[in-house]
Structure 1
């Protein structure tokens, strides 16, 4: 997946805007979508909007069902838990590979990225920790840093946006923002030490903690109505 860039055409801008609205929950999971209404809302004709919808289906953010139509994907607790188990295994593997595959320059870039994240007011106040996509996303950098095409295709090409949606929806769960930032730093330190085994363990623990906190959140009575 290319790095995040300014959309060049009306269709590109419509794609970026609709995708962002879905990821951030502006359009709620399960919402049924009308091609004509979306075209009007995002300022494109129905032909380009049809292509936007197709691309978002390929990114798992939209689902088309016979006799139902197109809806925003819903991450029910079971599906969310399964997604995080996959993340734990594959991103752990990516971290192990990145420990030997990343250049010193790439690792310095991770430290610089975390320094930028640290300046976010919501993170400083331990409210939320949300990262923009592409090179501004710590996990994206690690996956790319594995230099393993199969992992990149799976985690970035197939699952990336669905994972981003789940991360955004639960970015403030259990006051984890500051803890998550610290865990990111420790992962980078393991990468800098070229300790693949330790980097994998830290990444797996990092995602496992997030999964357990999300599972607890999903069991709360207030969360049950959201699904």
Structure 2
């Protein structure tokens, strides 16, 4: 027996509600509105985001796969909390993988892709926080410089590792630690240098600049943690 029109509409509604709740909860976790280590209740989350428990259960599973939530036996589900050592280790991994992505992007990105990422950085430059040199926030996906580099590598295995394993954890850390004094404009300048190397098809330089860029970000985070 095939699916009826009502069945299809019901499935679409379920999908839409789940997608909306996923986007809202994910953003609340990434930006720190729900703090790391917070214990979550499926029932309360469903009420908070206006969905039934079925869609919310799916949302929780998705955020677990993105490493933003952790489920522990006899404890329940909590927002992932990275201690300083784990965060430092994550950035060492990021340095290696994104360096590789930049290297590959220098040979794989099309001219249109390079133009698009240059235009993205021009958009970033107009952000008031950047102009005041107080913060450098980027929306996820195609509005994120680093995500564009992942995509520009045209290496599916690398993209999967970066986007599914560490991307959202990195977004959490970037939200929390992106306001280092005089770092935002410097970070934007480093992004431009990376893109210039890619545009020149200098893969070794693109990788070197990306690794230096992420190494500086790691040291800034370690310094902030040390000052707390």
Q: Calculate the TM-score normalised by the size of structure 2.
A: 0.92
Alpha-carbon distance in structure 1 between the residues aligned to 2:67 and 2:180? 23
Q: 2:113 aligns with which of 90, 106, 113?
A: 106
Checking the alignment, whether the CA contact within 8 Å between 1:97 and 1:146 is kept in structure 2 is: yes
Partner of 1:63: helix, strand, or coil? strand
> Which runs of 5 or more residues in structure 2 are unaligned?
1-14
Aligned to 1:180: 187
CA deviation digits over 1:97-153, x for unaligned, max 9? Answer: 100000111001111000000111111101110100110000000011001111101
Pairing 1:55–2:38 present: no
User: Residue 131 of structure 1: SS of its match in structure 2?
Assistant: coil
Indicate whether 1:197 and 2:201 are aligned: no
Report the count of equivalent residues. 214
| Matching of residue 64 in structure 1 with residue 68 in structure 2 | no
Answer yes or no: is the 8 Å Cα contact 1:118–1:124 preserved in 2: yes
Aligned partner of 2:48 in structure 1 is: 41
Q: In the alignment, does 2:159 pair up with 1:152?
A: yes
Matched, 1:216 2:220: no
**Matching of residues 160-171 of structure 1 within 5 Å:** 160-171=167-178
Structure 1 CA distance for aligned equivalents of residues 181 and 124 of structure 2? 19
The match for 1:75 is: 82
1:119 aligns with 2:126: yes
Structural RMSD (CA): 0.9
Contact 1:31–1:72 (CA under 8 A) maintained in structure 2: yes
Does the 8 A contact of 1:174 with 1:213 survive in 2? no
TM-score, scaled relative to structure 1: 0.93
| In 1: Cα distance, 2:66 partner to 2:20 partner | 16
